[in-house]
A and B are shown apart, each in its own frame.
Chain A
Amino acid sequence: MSGFEIRHPRSSGELFSAFTRLALQGFGGVLAVAQRELVERLQWMSKEQFVELLSVSQVLPGPNIVNLGLMFGDRHFGWRGAIAAVTGLLAVPLLIVLALAALYASYSDVPQVAGALRGMGAVAAGLVLATALKLAGTLKRNPMGLAWCAAIVAITALGIGWQRWPLVWVVLGLGVFGYALAWRRLAAPERAP
């Protein structure tokens, strides 16, 4: 990573405000913003570290971004950091969601509201796809090799997105396969292409 220096959050308070800031920018999901804020703006982690945290977050049950915040906060300030990150993610957005629910109750039949929701939904889809494309660059340096990585990405994306296979089987099947392959390549790197 040329010209990239990892910085560190200074306190739980700074974690809380950073996660509040990124949660408030995250419409239709926070992951896209999390990548931009934590990696690009604050430089608290590299792209590779982000993918690593995200991988574990996705395999464990629970909301990915909450798991990511828990682990990142815990690494820096123990359970206090974990709580700071998660309350940052949830507290202010919760108030906004409750206020919106109250508003929605009065304006749900206005066509402009439905249109705006659809427009924002399309943008949310684009944000997630852009994040995937950005992070895909990290696979070039993956010890499993680009061909295997591309195959796993394609099967996962098509299987879940298009064929709607049950998530648990895809994660278990491809997860175990990827784990075994990575284990082999890491244990005997000289045999890797």
Chain B
Amino acid sequence: MSAAYFGLHGLDWIDLLQLCGHFALLSLLAVGGAITSASDMQRYLVGQQGWIDALQFNASIAIAQAAPGPNILFVALLGWSVAGPLGMLATMAGIMLPSSALTLVVSRYGRSRQDTLPVRAFSVGLAPLTIGLLLATGWVLAQPSRGHWGAMVLVPVTILFMLKTSRSPLWMIGVGAVVGALGWA
């Protein structure tokens, strides 16, 4: 398993460029984060190209969720399982560079005009949308807990912990891992 997971899958340079190009296209479509385009990544890597199987795909997402750091790192795991370190470079460069360049251009444009009406209306008008999107993300992340009583209790306990104390969220992550490992979640 581990040899297959980390192995080079016999891609050539053209394949690598295509891989990078496809992720670069998704980079510009992924409003709200890369996870929103995960279904298309699955279609491309598993269905169309057959470079990895559906199990490898799901494992990549689950491992990135369980590890510390931005969830975008599941894209690195996908690339690695397609073609090792070079594959990882291709998918990460593809998913990161276009959106990052756009963000910097927009940010600098807005920064130089931050007191003008069009820019102020942007931040004022989008604030409630932002908070609604966070609630929706929390809801979606909580879905696998449905039907598991321990996990369903962990969600509100975590909310109270964050609102009422100023301790690091790492404590709750630890509690979640222990409760889950004991079979109570």
* Residues in chain A within 8 A of chain B (CB atoms): 23-33, 36, 40, 51-52, 54-67, 70-71, 74-75, 79, 82, 86, 89-90, 92-94, 96-98, 100-102, 104-106, 108, 111-113, 115-136, 138-139, 142-144, 148-150, 152-157, 159-162, 167-168, 170-171, 174-175, 178-183, 185-187
Most B-side CB within 10 Å, residue of A33, A120, A148:
A120
A123, B139: Cα distance in complex, Å: 12
Q: Mostly helix, strand, loop or mixed at chain A's interface?
A: helix
Contact assessment for A123 and B36 in the assembled complex, using a CB-CB cutoff below 8 Å: no
Q: Which of B82-134 contact A (CB under 8 A)?
A: 95-96, 98-100, 102-104, 106-108, 110-111, 117-118, 120-134
Q: Which of B53-93 contact A (CB under 8 A)?
A: 59-60, 62-73, 76-77, 80
Contact assessment for A131 and B134 in the assembled complex, using a CB-CB cutoff below 8 Å: yes
Does B21 reach chain A (CB closer than 8 Å)?
Answer: no
* CB-defined contacts of B144 to chain A, threshold 8 Å: 118, 121-122
A29, B162: Cα distance in complex, Å: 15
Pick the residue among B29, B36, B125, B162 that contacts A180 (CB under 8 A): B125
Contact assessment for A116 and B180 in the assembled complex, using a CB-CB cutoff below 8 Å: yes
Q: Mostly helix, strand, loop or mixed at chain B's interface?
A: helix
* CB-defined contacts of A89 to chain B, threshold 8 Å: 69-70
Pick the residue among A51, A97, A132, A144 that contacts B125 (CB under 8 A): A144
Q: For residue B100, which residue of chain A has the nearest CB?
A: A70
Q: For residue B76, which residue of chain A has the nearest CB?
A: A94
